[in-house]
Amino acid sequence: MGKEYQRHEFCRVVGCPGLSDDKCTAPGAFCLFTARQFHEWLQDNGYRIIKPSKTKK
């Protein structure tokens, strides 16, 4: 079983300049890292990525 991700943990570890007092201050959706980098970091650090099941309409 994987670990549970704590809010902004990735940002703290990588030293994101947009993180201030545990709040993201990056303008809009701006981030220095890609979703792929974030997901690779999660997997490398023992997190499991759980995708919600698709529901039929």
pLDDT in tens, 7-27: 889 989 988 888 888 888 877
In the chain, the number of structural domains is: 1
Band the pLDDT of 3: cuts 50, 70, 90: confident
- Would you say residue 57 lies in a domain? no
Domain assignment of residue 15, given as a range? 1-52
Q: Is the pLDDT of residue 57 over 70?
A: no
Phi, psi of 47 (to 5 degrees): -95, 145
Band the pLDDT of 1: cuts 50, 70, 90: low
pLDDT of residue 25: 84
Does 54 or 41 have the greater pLDDT score?
Answer: 41
- Would you say residue 22 lies in a domain? yes
Token pair 């099941």 in the structure block, residue: 53
Q: Is the pLDDT of residue 52 over 70?
A: yes
Rg for the chain (alpha carbons), in Å?
Answer: 14
Token pair 């902004």 in the structure block, residue: 8
